[in-house]
Amino acid sequence: MKQLLERINNFRKEDLSYESLGDFVKGIDLAKLEYKEHIPYECDPGDYGRNILCLEPFECVLIYWPPSTESAIHYHKGFYGYVAMLEGELDNIEYVFKDGILGESHAVRYLAGGVADEPDQTIHKLANPNEKEGAVSIHFYYPALDTLEDLAIYNTEIGAEGILSATAKSASWSDREGHFKALRENAFSFQDMATFHRKRSHVIYPVIPKPESERIGEMVGAYYCEQAEIYDQIDQKHESRSAYTDKINEIIANQFRNLESLDEVLHIACGTGRRAIDIRKISGSTYKIQGVDISASMCEVAAEKDIELINSGWVDLELPPEKQYCAATWLYAFGHISTYDVRKNALLKLNKHLKMNAPLMIDVFNMGNKNEWGPLAVKAYNNMKLYKYGYQEGDVFYKRTNGKEIAFLHYFSKDEITGLLEDSGFTIKKIWNIGYVKDSGKIKEDESEGFFMIHAVKSNELT
């Protein structure tokens, strides 16, 4: 920490700008920063602790966030800064204030090593979403805030705006005497993310840096556990998803009808099992269904149906070497796998457990689909320089607008998914482009619309 403070002291104030401060912060080797003895663990219940390390030529303050602690929503008026994560995780949730309405617009989750930008005029709050672990962050602001006097904060429960006094210890709502110098009730109405994005069931929710594969698997599992009990209802009531699912089920069932021998089918990421059963019913067959799913809650729902279940991610599953299936499906889930290398290994494993010429029916999200998040994921990858944080082009994190858990998804180019399959011992028989958001369930000629639905067969034995 001493070296960092020396570097700050040597920074020429005349060279300060939003960009130069950002370059400085992002150039710090956070992993080597010796900060432990400076962590301000002592703080009021429900509040966070601040330790101001220096104020010139810009402010540097270390903050400790106890579990489930957050700042109030506050307004950066006349100052800017950056937040670097040292331990744990923080959500940076941003807001838009217009026509008397404060709307929750978007958010990013930062893990250790991530750096959040806080430009002038930002309205946001920082929140530790972890109910068990604390978080530590180091903040850099210019001009320095030697006190929090005149900082505007907002209470969404009562629609109040408070102006902090010079004695306020943190940007939080408090009943402490003298905390506010002014208070205005009924100052605005509030729209949470679900209301603000009322036409969207999901929103993009970046995680920086990209977590390791194991952690991403845990996140995806938690995301599906969160909605297991209502997943089938959502699936059937969602017009676009329902039409798309019906078309996919029909395509797969038609392929299965043409097989001479079909005694057991592997359904990877089978979820509640409803789709696997529908496909079997449409095909007119009586084959055994082997389901595999990462979500324990999804498996509990599927267990009530006629399905043999394994609660595991396919990546982590170890089957007997001799176990082989006549066919496999991998629907709406292959993109949940975290990286190219892990996807390749997953397909190689699947190759080992399929009989020769066995079909694999797999659908993936199309990076070029102008009606979906693919183009936005590519834009964010370049504009936010996400390649510096472990992302691959097409990666996106997201959550339900009224949900808590964040999931991961990868969007594929056509060359990427076909190359992966071919390198893993599969031959592509046919690719359909099927509408989802627009013209749901309809086969599209234009590759800039719809998802890729692929019929591949095992053509090579790979070791």
The domain spans of the chain are 2-199, 213-458
**DSSP assignment letter at 431:** E
- Digit-coded pLDDT (tens) for 302-349: 988 878 899 999 999 999 999 999 999 999 999 999 999 999 999 999
463: pLDDT confidence band, cut at 50, 70 and 90? low
pLDDT for 269 beyond 70: yes
Element spanning 161, H or E: strand 160-164
- Digit-coded pLDDT (tens) for 402-444: 889 999 999 999 999 999 999 999 999 999 999 998 899 999 9
CATH topology assigned to domain 213-458:
Rossmann fold (3.40.50)
Please report the pLDDT score of residue 236 as a whole number: 64
Using CB atoms within 10 Å of the CB of residue 16, give its burial: 0 to 12 exposed, 13 to 18 middle, 19+ buried.
Answer: middle
Structure tokens that stand for 352 in this block: 């080992």
Q: Are 222 and 298 a contacting pair, CB within 8 Å?
A: no
Nearest to 159 by CA among 62, 269, 73, 58: 73
Q: In sequence order, what are the beta bridge partners of 289?
A: 265
Structure tokens that stand for 417 in this block: 């998914």
pLDDT > 70 fraction of the chain, expressed in percent and rounded = 98
For residues 20 and 113, give the distance between their C-alpha atoms in angstroms, rounded to a whole number: 19
* Domain 2-199: which CATH number of 2.60.40.10, 1.10.3720.10, 2.60.120.10, 3.40.640.10: 2.60.120.10
Structure tokens that stand for 409 in this block: 């998804």
Distances (CA, A) of 428 to 348, 392, 431, 456: 15, 24, 8, 4
DSSP E strands in 269-402: the ranges are 288-293, 308-311, 327-330, 359-364, 395-400
Instruction: Match 């069932």 to its residue by tokens.
Output: 253
For residues 385 and 118, give the distance between their C-alpha atoms in angstroms, rounded to a whole number: 16
Segment 254-259 mean pLDDT? 91
Using CB atoms within 10 Å of the CB of residue 185, give its burial: 0 to 12 exposed, 13 to 18 middle, 19+ buried.
Answer: exposed
239: pLDDT confidence band, cut at 50, 70 and 90? low
The count of other CB atoms within 10 Å of the CB of residue 418 is 17
pLDDT for 261 beyond 90: no
* Interacting residues of 459 by C-beta distance below 8 A, sequence separation 6+: 356, 357, 425, 426, 427
Segment 242-246 mean pLDDT? 91
DSSP E strands in 391-450: the ranges are 395-400, 407-410, 426-434
The radius of gyration of the chain from alpha carbons, rounded to an integer in Å, stands at: 26
